[in-house]
Amino acid sequence: MKLSEAVRGVSGTLAADGEFSCIAFATEQEQSQFLTFLEKEKFLPALDNSKISCVLTTSALAEKIPPHIKGVFLCDRPKAALFEIHNRLARHPDYVGASAATVVGEGCSISPLAAIDCENVVIGDRVTIEPFVVIKGRVIIGNDVTIRSGAVIGCKGFSFSKDAQGQNVSVEDTARIIIEDHVEIFEQVAISTGIFPWEETRIGENTKVDAQCHIGHGAHIGRNCLLAEGSRCCGNSRVGDHVWVGVGAIVSNRVRVGDGARVSLGSVVTKEVPAGQTVSGNFAIDHQKFLSNLKKSLEE
């Protein structure tokens, strides 16, 4: 798509035209040529990415844009402009993909009290879906999956932009949710859809998600994980394979948790957890260090 076509109707000035295949934040490792935004100079190094072909930015930053970025659009509020473009494109099949009738595999047990969109859902073989489950469009479910009562697959992500008057504007969700084989999703779990078409939310093979957990938009949960009751994996978080997330624990937005790590109950994880490490506390630190600090505080 040409930048000149995408910004039609957006307040600003086209400084140079270019082409892009998708929209993404500058920090993403997208493989296609993409459109992004730059609003603050401190993020200028993020534009050193050969896949960024077009950018929305301010007049004050225009001369600092790297030469490999061909398309430049100048506006007062680049981030809001990016989401304005995204929201408009979200209505077009060329951007989000064509619709297709929902497909259900063989040997499935689906309650008549479940609500499943009639388009853009693929359900594998031997899937069990209990009463009052809601499955919205752009969801792919593998084989031998169980989804228990009250779970919602395809929740609206909690993503908002600000308009010129400072009012909250909802950002459209256009991505897929992929639930791999042998996953079990317990009661009242909520799994949110990602913003951009490529930003899939994924639950890895043989992972079990306990009641009242929330999986944020664009989050990836690895294989053979156990997410205990009420835990939260926030938007775009990355949880590796064989990870334990304890009762009520929170993995914050865009945080990575390495393979085999353990997040103790009630922990709030705000920075990367290395593979195999156990963390505890709010904010979470190495478990042994947490116990040592606790012991010292009790001795005072």
- Read off the pLDDT of residues 185-221 as tens digits, 9 standing for 90 and up: 999 999 999 999 999 999 999 999 999 999 999 999 9
Fold of 103-290: UDP N-Acetylglucosamine Acyltransferase; domain 1 (2.160.10)
Give the whole-angstrom CA distance, residue 209 versus residue 232.
10
Give the whole-angstrom CA distance, residue 179 versus residue 149.
17
DSSP type of residue 185: E
Q: What is the mean pLDDT of residues 59-83?
A: 96
Common-topology check for domains 3-89 and 103-290 = no
Number of residues that this document lists for the chain = 300
Examine the residue annotation and report whether 68 is marked as an active-site residue of this protein.
Answer: no
Structure confidence at residue 98 (pLDDT): 93
Model confidence pLDDT, tens digit, residues 21-30: 999 999 887 7
Residue 167's CB is within 10 A of a number of other CB atoms, namely 9
Q: How confident is the model at residue 300 (pLDDT cuts 50, 70, 90)?
A: low
* Catalytic residue chosen out of the listed positions 217, 220, 242, 287: 217
Q: Where are the domains of the chain?
A: 3-89, 103-290
Q: Does the pLDDT value for residue 291 go beyond 80? A: no
Give the whole-angstrom CA distance, residue 156 versus residue 174.
10
Model confidence pLDDT, tens digit, residues 137-173: 999 999 999 999 999 999 999 999 988 888 999 999 9
Cα angle 71-76-78, degrees, rounded to a multiple of 5: 50
**pTM (whole model) above 0.85:** yes
3-89 homologous superfamily:
MurE/MurF, N-terminal domain (3.40.1390.10)
First-to-last alpha carbon distance for the chain, in angstroms, is 65
Encode burial over 263-298: b for 16+ CB neighbours within 10 A, e otherwise: bbebbbbeeebeeebbbbbeebbebeebeeeeeeee
Structure confidence at residue 296 (pLDDT): 73
Q: Does the pLDDT value for residue 298 go beyond 80? A: no
